[in-house]
Chains A and B, each alone.
Chain A
Amino acid sequence: MIRYPAFDPPEYIDWQADPRLVEEFARTIERDAGRKEIVSALDHKRLLSLYEGLVRNRLHDIMLKRWVKQGVISKAWLGTGEEATTIGAIHALDRSAASDGRPTDFVAPMIRNAGACHEMGMTVTDMLRGYLGTEDSPTRGRDLHIGDFQKGVIAPISHVGDIMAVTAGIALAFKLRREPRVALTWIGDGSAKAGVFHEAMNMAAVQRLPLIVILQNNQVALGTRLDQHHRASFLDWPAAYGVEGAAMDGNNVLDVYAAVKVAARHCREGQGPFLLIAETFRMGGHATHDEREARQTFAAELFERWGKRDPLGLFETYLIEGTMDLENGRRARKTGSPRERNLEVLKRVEERVTSEVEAAAEEALSSARTKMPRPEQAAEGVYAEHSRSSAQQASGIVF
C-alpha cells in the first residue's frame, strides 16, 4: 500500500518484504492442521475483505495522526503494527444478525483495537466524530471511548480490566439463554495485571462461558517494558485458569483469523472460555504524544525487527505473490501468475478505502463545525428518566 512518510513509523516508509518473513508467514498458517484447513477454505472475497479491514484500520489511524499534527485533536491512541490482532479476530466471528437484531457475536475492544469498531459495521465517520466529541458521535460527546451496542461493540472505559468482567457477563447472558453466541475481548500485557482480569478469567472458567480473551502482548504497557512488569510465560496462563488456550502470531492476520475461528467454535460448543496469546509490537508511542519516549524505551533493533513484520505489508505480499487470482478466486497454474492483476485488485481496494476515510474525516469535521452538543445537554441522561433535579441543576444554581 501507499506509505505515508509523515505519519508511518520510519520502518514502514520504504518497507520491502523480507523473503524470510514471507516464508515464515506462509509456514505459520500451515503449522496447525485445524488452522490450515480454515485458512485454505478462505475464498478471494474473504481474503480481500481482511485486506480491506487492515487498510481501513491503518488509514483511520493515519487520519488521527494527521489531525494531531494539524491540531484538530490533541492526541490519539493508535493500533499501528497491531492491526492483524484486531482485524483477524473480528472477521472470524459471526457478525450476522441474531434474533435480537444485533450481531450474533459481541466484542469489547480496547482503544487500541479501534479497528474492531469499523469491522463490526460502525462508520469511520462515527469513530472520528467520537474523538471530536460531536453531538452526532456515538456518545453524543460524553466520552471518546466509543462503541455501538446495536452493532455488537461494547465501548471500553479507561480503567483497564473492567471490561473483561463485563464481557464475561455478556457471555453469561448468552449461556443462560442457551444462545450459541460468543463474546470476545482483548486485553493488553499490562492490563492483564489488574486484579479484575484474574477474577473475570477464573469466573468465566468456572462458569464455562463462551468468552474469547485475546491477550495482546505488544511488549509494553505505556512506558514500562514487558520485562519490568511481567515474569511468567503468558502461554502458561490458560492452564493456570483451566481454560483452553493457544498462541497466535499477532502480526499474521490469517493466523489470528484461524485461531479465533477455532476458539469461537470451541466456545459455541459450550466448552468454556478460550485464552489466545498474541505476540505483537506497538510501532509507536502509547499515544501520539510520546513516540520519542517509546523509541527511548526500546532498543532500535526491536523496532527494526518488528517493523519488518508490518502486518499489512506481510499480508499484502502474501496476496500479491500467491497463486490465487484475486479477481475471480481461481488458483493460477505456475505459468499464468496473477501477480499484476492482484496488484491492481489490491490497489483498487486501497483507493476505495482511502476515499472512504477521507470522506469520513470531512463529514466528521463538518459535524464539529455544526453539531457540537449544546452545553445544557450535559445534564441529560444520567438516569432512565430525565430527572427533575438534574433539570433544575441545568437551569442554574440550586440551593
Chain B
Amino acid sequence: MAAITLLEAIRKGLWEEMERDDRVFLLGEDIGVYGGAFKMTEGFLERFGEDRVIDTPISESAIVGAACGAAMMGLRPVAEMQFIDFISCCFDILTNYAATSRYRQNIGIPMVVRGPSGGGVHGGPFHSQNVESFFLNTPGLKMVEPSTPYDAKGLIKAAIRDEDPVLFFEHKALYRNPRIKQEVPDDDYIVPIGKAAVRREGRDISVITYGVMVYTAMEAADRLQEEGIDIEVIDLRSLLPFDREAIVESVKKTSKVIILHEATRTGGMAGELTAVINEDAFEYLDGPIMRVTSIDTPVPYAPPLEEFFMPQVDDVLKAARSLAAY
C-alpha cells in the first residue's frame, strides 16, 4: 500500500465504484478526453467508455438536471463541477428540484455533485469559494468534505451509494498536498455520512472544523500545547447532516468551543453549530463560543489580501488564548 494524495484517493473511490456498480457514471465538462481540469478522471474514458464518462457542454443546469433524471431512473450519476464555484449555475435544479423530490413525490435522487472548492491558491473570487452555506439552508441535500485521503475514498463511496443527493466538496489546496498523503486500503470500505472524527483529543478547548482547516487547527493545537492549552480537534467530515452527538460530547468534555471554517462568517456553518451547542450543551459552557472564519467579503485574488481574508493559525491561537482566560 503506497501513500496517496487526496486527489488520488477520490479517484480511487470513483474508479472502484464504477468497477463495482455499472449504474455509476460520470458527467461533466472536460472530464473525458481531457481527463478533467485537475486530472481527476484521467484514464476513465479509456477504461469505462463514452457512455459512462460523458463530456458535456458548459451547461451546469443541464448537467445536474440530467443527473437528477438519470438518478430517478435508477442510475448513479456523479456530476463534476469544474470548480465548485460554478455550482451556482445549477442552484435552482439543486435546491428546488433535487432537494425536494423525495419529499414531494417520494422519488429519491441518488446523485453526487462533486468539485474542487476552497481558496488559498490565489484563484480569485470565482475559483476559491466554499459554497456550503448556500445549501445549508436547503433540507433535502447532504454535504460532505473530506480532509484526509482515507476519508476521501470512504466518503465518495458513501456519497455514491447514498439514496439522496450529496454535494461532495474537495479542497483543492489538499488535492496534491504531499504533507497529507496517507496509505489508503484497497478494500471496499465506506466512511458513513453524518459521522465526525476526533483528530486530536484534548481537555481544554474543542475546535470544531472541517476540510483544509483541520490542518490549521492541528497546527494551532501543537503550538498551544506548548502553552499548556490542550486542544481537541473535531473534523466534521459531513456538513449536512452534521454529527450533533460528537459535537455535544466534545463540548461537554472541554466546555469551550472554537468553530473554525474557511467559508465566510455571516450565515456560515459556525452560526448553525453555535445554535446547536446552545440548545444541547449550554449548561456545560464556560465561555463564549468563538468563530474563526474568513471575513465577509468576496475571496480576493492578491496573496496578501487572500491571506488576510482566510483564517490563519494565528487567528486560532488568538481565539484560543482569549477563550482559555475564561
Interface residues of A (CB under 8 A from B): 74, 133-134, 139, 141-145, 157-161, 190-191, 193-195, 221-225, 228-230, 293, 297, 372-379, 382, 389-390, 393-394, 396-399
On chain A, the residues within 8 Å of B288 by CB distance are: 399
Interface centre among B86, B295, B315 (most CB of A within 10 A): B295
Report Cα–Cα, A134/B67, bound state, in Å.
Answer: 42
Whole-angstrom CA separation of A143 from B306 in the bound complex? 11
B230 CB-CB contact with A under 8 Å: no
Verify if B219 is at the interface (C-beta below 8 Å from A).
Answer: no
What residues on B are CB-neighbors of A393 within 8 Å? 265, 295-296
Residue-wise, chain B 295-326 has the 8 Å CB interface mask toward A (1 for contact) of 11110111111111100000100110010000
Interface pair A143/B303, CB less than 8 Å apart: no
CA distance A144 to B303 in the complex (A): 12
Q: Return the contact of B307 from the options A159, A193, A375, A390 (Cβ within 8 A).
A: A375
Q: Which residues of B contact A373 (CB under 8 A)?
A: 302, 304-305
Chain A residue at minimal CB-CB distance from B124:
A143
Known: A225-B33, A293-B34, A393-B296. A158 touches B127 (CB 8 A): yes
- Asked whether any CB of chain A lies closer than 8 Å to the CB of B228, the reply is no
How far is B178's CA from A17's CA once the two chains are assembled, in angstroms?
50
Q: Which chain A residues lie closer than 8 Å to B304 at the CB level?
A: 141, 372-375, 378
Q: A224 touching B34 by the CB < 8 A rule?
A: yes
For residue A202, give the distance in angstroms from its CB to the closest CB of chain B.
16
Residue B292 lies at the interface, judged by CB distance under 8 Å to chain A:
yes
Q: How many Å lie between the Cα of A356 and that of B297 in the bound state?
A: 36
In the complex formed, the residue of A with least CB distance to B90 is A195
Find the B residue at minimum CB distance from A392. Answer: B295
Bound-complex Cα distance A142 to B127 (A): 13
Instruction: Rank and list the top 5 A-B pairs by shortest CB-CB distance, nearest first.
Output: A223-B34, A133-B302, A141-B302, A158-B126, A375-B308
Stretch at the interface among B12-20, B53-61, B179-187: B53-61
12 contacting pairs across A/B (C-beta < 8 A): A157-B126, A159-B126, A228-B55, A229-B58, A375-B308, A377-B305, A378-B297, A378-B305, A390-B297, A393-B295, A393-B296, A399-B288
Residues of A near B59 (CB, < 8 A) are: 193-195
Residues of B within 8 A of A293 (CB): 34
In whole angstroms, what is the CA distance A390 to B266 when docked? 11
Judge whether A397 and B34 touch: CB under 8 Å: no
Which chain A residue lies CB-closest to B305?
A: A378
- Residues of B near A399 (CB, < 8 A) are 288-291
The winner among B300, B306, B309 for most chain A CB atoms within 10 A is: B300
- B125 adjacent to chain A (CB < 8 Å): yes
- Cα-based distance from A285 to B126 in the complex (angstroms): 20
- Contact check, A382 vs B297: say whether CB atoms are below 8 A apart: yes
Judging by beta carbons under 8 Å apart, are A142 and B300 in contact?
Answer: yes
Tell me whether A378 and B309 are in contact (CB under 8 A).
yes
A141-B297 in contact (CB<8A): no
CB of B276 closer than 8 Å to a CB of A: no
Q: How far is the CA of A224 from the CA of B290 in the complex (A)?
A: 46
B125-A224 in contact (CB<8A): no
Given contacts A159-B88, A224-B29, contact A375 B295 (CB under 8 A): no
* Chain A at the B interface: SS class: loop
Residues of chain A within 8 A of B37, CB atoms compared: 222-223
Q: Are B296 and A142 in contact (CB under 8 A)?
A: no
Q: Are B297 and A144 closer than 8 Å at their CB atoms?
A: no
Distance A142 CA – B309 CA, assembled complex (angstroms): 11
Count, chain B residues at interface, CB 8 A = 49
CB distance from B39 to the nearest CB of A (A): 10
Chain A residues near B88 (CB, 8 Å)? 159
Q: Are B33 and A223 in contact (CB under 8 A)?
A: yes
Give A133's nearest chain B residue, CB to CB.
B302
CB distance from A200 to the nearest CB of B (A): 14
What separation, in Å, do the CA atoms of A161 and B33 have in the docked complex? 24
Nearest-neighbour CB distance to chain B for A216, whole angstroms, equals: 14
A184 CB, nearest partner CB in chain B, Å: 21
Chain B residue at smallest Cβ distance from A221? B58
Are A142 and B305 within 8 A (Cβ)? Answer: yes
When C-beta atoms are compared, the residue in chain A nearest to B307 turns out to be A375
Residue of A nearest to B121 (CB): A74
- Taking CB atoms, residues of chain A closer than 8 Å to B265 are 393, 398
* 8 Å CB contact of B301 from A142, A159, A191: A142
CB of A397 within 8 A of CB of B315, answer: yes
Closest A residue, CB atoms, query B54: A228
B280 neighbours in A (Cβ, 8 Å): none
| 37-67 of chain B: CB within 8 A of chain A | 37, 55-62
Task: Report whether B295 and A195 are in contact in the complex, using a CB–CB cutoff of 8 Å.
Answer: no
A142 x B125 contact (CB < 8 A): yes
**Interface residue B162 (Cβ < 8 Å from any Cβ of A):** no
A144 to B302, CA, bound (A): 9
Complex Cα spacing A222 to B122, Å: 20
Known A223-B34, A375-B307; further 5 A-B contacts with Cβ < 8 A: A142-B124, A194-B60, A379-B297, A393-B296, A394-B295
- If the complex has contacts A141-B300, A144-B124, A229-B58, are A379 and B295 also in contact, measured as CB distance less than 8 A? yes
Are the C-beta atoms of B58 and A190 separated by less than 8 Å?
yes
By the criterion CB–CB under 8 Å, are A378 and B306 in contact? Answer: yes
B73 within 8 A of partner (CB): no
- Confirm or deny: B89 has a beta carbon within 8 angstroms of a beta carbon on chain A: yes
Decide yes or no: A372 and B302 within 8 Å by CB, A193-B57, A389-B296, A390-B295 being known contacts: yes
Q: Which residues of chain A have C-beta atoms less than 8 A from B308's C-beta?
A: 375-376, 378-379
Please state if A229 and B55 are interface contacts (CB–CB under 8 Å): yes
CA distance A158 to B305 in the complex (A): 19
B163 on the A face (CB < 8 A): no
**Assembly CA distance A30 to B298 (angstroms):** 50
- In angstroms, Cα B109 to Cα A289, docked, is 37
On chain B, the residues within 8 Å of A229 by CB distance are 55-58
Of the residues B35, B86, B122, B322, contact of A159 by C-beta under 8 Å? B86
Inter-chain CA distance A157–B128, complex, in Å, is: 13
Q: Say whether B85 faces chain A, with CB atoms less than 8 Å apart.
A: yes
Residues of A within 8 A of B82 (CB): 222
The distance in angstroms between the C-alpha atoms of A224 and B32, with both chains bound, is 9
Residues of B within 8 A of A377 (CB): 305
A145 touches B124 (CB 8 A): yes
Are B301 and A141 in touch, CB under 8 angstroms? yes
A399–B292 alpha-carbon span in the complex (Å): 9
A223 to B80, CA, bound (A): 15
| Residues in B neighbouring A159, C-beta threshold 8 A | 85-86, 88-89, 126
B 74-89 to A, binary, CB cutoff 8 A, 1 in contact else 0: 0000000011011011
Q: Which chain A residues lie closer than 8 Å to B262 at the CB level? A: none
